[in-house]
Chains A and B, each alone.
Chain A
Amino acid sequence: MVKSKSLKTKKHYKRFGSMGRRSVDIINEMYSPIDSINRFINLALDTIGENSQSRQFLLESKQGIRKASTLLKRLDVYAKKLEKEFKEMSPK
Chain B
Amino acid sequence: MSKNRILIANGDKLSQKSLYEMLCRNGYGVDITRSLPEAIARLNETAYNAVIMDIHEIDNAEFLKTVNKVSSKSPIIILTSYGNIEFAVNSIKMGAFDYLVKPVEDKKIISSIERALTTPAVNAMDKEILKKAVPAREENRHGLVGDSQAMKDIHSIIGRIANSRATVLMCGESGTGKRLIAHALHKADKKRGIKSFIEISCGGLPREIIESELFGHTKGAFTGAINDRKGRFELADGGTILLDDIDCLPLDLQVKLLRVLQHKEFERVGDNRTIKVDVRIIASTNQDLEKAIAEKRFREDLYYRLNVISMHIPPLRERKDDICSLVEHFIAIYARENHKEINSISKDVFAVLVNYSWPGNVRQLENIIERAVILDTDDIIGKEDLPDIIFNGTACVNANLGADIMSSLKDVLQEPEKVYILRVLDEVGWNKKKAAVKLGVNRTTLYNKLRKYNITASVEKD
Residues of A within 8 A of B (CB): 28-40, 42-43, 46, 50-51, 55-56, 59-60, 63, 65, 69, 76
Residues of B within 8 A of A (CB): 11-12, 14-15, 17-19, 21-22, 25, 56, 81-83, 101-104, 106, 205-206, 209, 224, 226-227
A78–chain B nearest beta-carbon distance, Å: 14
A56 pairs with B102, CB closer than 8 A:
no
Name the residue of chain A whose CB is nearest to the CB of B100: A35
B224 pairs with A56, CB closer than 8 A:
yes
A36 pairs with B227, CB closer than 8 A:
no
A77–chain B nearest beta-carbon distance, Å: 10
Choose one: A33, A51, A76; the contact of B14 (CB below 8 Å).
A33
B21: which A residues are within 8 A, CB to CB?
Answer: 39-40, 43
Q: With A and B bound together, what is the CA distance between A37 and B11 in angstroms? A: 15
- Asked, given contacts A29-B56, A36-B17, A60-B226, whether A69 binds B22 with beta carbons under 8 Å apart, the answer is no
A contact patch SS: helix
A32 pairs with B227, CB closer than 8 A:
no
A76: which B residues are within 8 A, CB to CB?
Answer: 83
A33: which B residues are within 8 A, CB to CB?
Answer: 14-15
A-B residue pair count with CB separations less than 8 angstroms = 63
Q: With A and B bound together, what is the CA distance between A74 and B357 in angstroms? A: 61
A34: which B residues are within 8 A, CB to CB?
Answer: 102-103
Choose one: B56, B106, B226; the contact of A39 (CB below 8 Å).
B106
- Asked, given contacts A28-B82, A34-B103, A56-B226, whether A39 binds B205 with beta carbons under 8 Å apart, the answer is no
A53–chain B nearest beta-carbon distance, Å: 9
Name the residue of chain A whose CB is nearest to the CB of B224: A56
B contact patch SS: loop
A43 pairs with B103, CB closer than 8 A:
no
Choose one: A29, A31, A39; the contact of B19 (CB below 8 Å).
A39
A55: which B residues are within 8 A, CB to CB?
Answer: 224
A36 pairs with B25, CB closer than 8 A:
no
A32: which B residues are within 8 A, CB to CB?
Answer: 11-12, 14-15, 56, 81, 102
Q: With A and B bound together, what is the CA distance between A42 and B209 in angstroms? A: 18
- Asked, given contacts A31-B102, A56-B224, whether A50 binds B18 with beta carbons under 8 Å apart, the answer is no
A63: which B residues are within 8 A, CB to CB?
Answer: 227
Q: With A and B bound together, what is the CA distance between A30 and B14 in angstroms? A: 12
Choose one: B15, B82, B101, B226; the contact of A36 (CB below 8 Å).
B15
B227: which A residues are within 8 A, CB to CB?
Answer: 59, 63
B289–chain A nearest beta-carbon distance, Å: 26
Choose one: B15, B25, B82; the contact of A35 (CB below 8 Å).
B15
- Asked, given contacts A32-B56, A34-B103, whether A43 binds B12 with beta carbons under 8 Å apart, the answer is no
Q: With A and B bound together, what is the CA distance between A22 and B339 in angstroms? A: 45
B22 pairs with A31, CB closer than 8 A:
no
Choose one: A31, A50, A56; the contact of B103 (CB below 8 Å).
A31
A-B contact list, 26 entries, CB within 8 Å: A28-B81, A28-B82, A28-B83, A29-B81, A31-B81, A31-B102, A32-B15, A32-B102, A33-B14, A34-B103, A36-B14, A38-B103, A40-B21, A42-B106, A43-B18, A43-B22, A43-B25, A46-B25, A50-B205, A50-B206, A50-B209, A56-B224, A56-B226, A59-B226, A65-B103, A76-B83
Name the residue of chain B whose CB is nearest to the CB of A76: B83
B18: which A residues are within 8 A, CB to CB?
Answer: 35-37, 39-40, 43
Q: With A and B bound together, what is the CA distance between A28 and B103 in angstroms? A: 10
A35 pairs with B22, CB closer than 8 A:
no
Most chain B beta-carbon contacts within 10 A, residue among A33, A35, A43: A35
Name the residue of chain B whose CB is nearest to the CB of A32: B81
Name the residue of chain A whose CB is nearest to the CB of B101: A31
B209: which A residues are within 8 A, CB to CB?
Answer: 50-51
Most chain A beta-carbon contacts within 10 A, residue among B12, B18, B224: B18
Most chain B beta-carbon contacts within 10 A, residue among A36, A38, A40, A46: A36
A40: which B residues are within 8 A, CB to CB?
Answer: 18, 21
B446–chain A nearest beta-carbon distance, Å: 19
A76–chain B nearest beta-carbon distance, Å: 8
A91–chain B nearest beta-carbon distance, Å: 24
B106: which A residues are within 8 A, CB to CB?
Answer: 39, 42
